[in-house]
Amino acid sequence: MNAISHIEISHETYEKLEFFKRIVDAIVEEKLSFKDYVELVLSRGIASMLRDVIPKDVDILLNSIEQIFEAYPDSTSKFIVDTLKKGEEIQLRKRWFGE
C-alpha cells in the first residue's frame, strides 16, 4: 500500500519526535529522511506493542499458532516455510562465513 496519509499529533509529541531523530541518526550513522524516520519509529512502536500482546508462555504461544493455522492454513504454512528457509540461510551463512 503506497497511500500517503496525514495524521495530527500534538506540538509536544512532534517536538519529541524531531529531537529523538538526532539519537536515531547517530545510531544508524546516516541521516534518514524525516519520512523514513517516522516510518521506522512507527514500525518499531507497532512491533513493540505487538510483542506486548503475544503470549510469553511457550505452550500458549504454540496453541495460538495452531489456532492461526486452523483459521488461515495457506498463509500460516507459507509464513512458516519462509521463516524456516530464512533460518536455514542464516545457519548456512554462519557455517560458511563465521558470522
Q: Which three cell numbers stand for residue 33?
A: 529522511
Residue 29: HSE in the Cβ half-sphere, 13 Å Cα cutoff: 0
Query: Which pLDDT does position 77 carry in this prediction?
Result: 95
- pTM comes to 0.63
State the Cα–Cα distance between residues 98 and 96, nearest whole angstrom: 6
pLDDT tens per residue across span 14-35: 999 999 999 999 998 888 899 9
Q: What is the mean pLDDT of the chain?
A: 89
C-alpha grid cell for residue 48?
513493540
Residuewise pLDDT in 10s, the chain (99 residues):
566 788 899 999 999 999 999 999 999 888 889 999 999 999 999 999 999 998 889 999 999 999 999 999 999 999 999 998 888 888 877 778 776
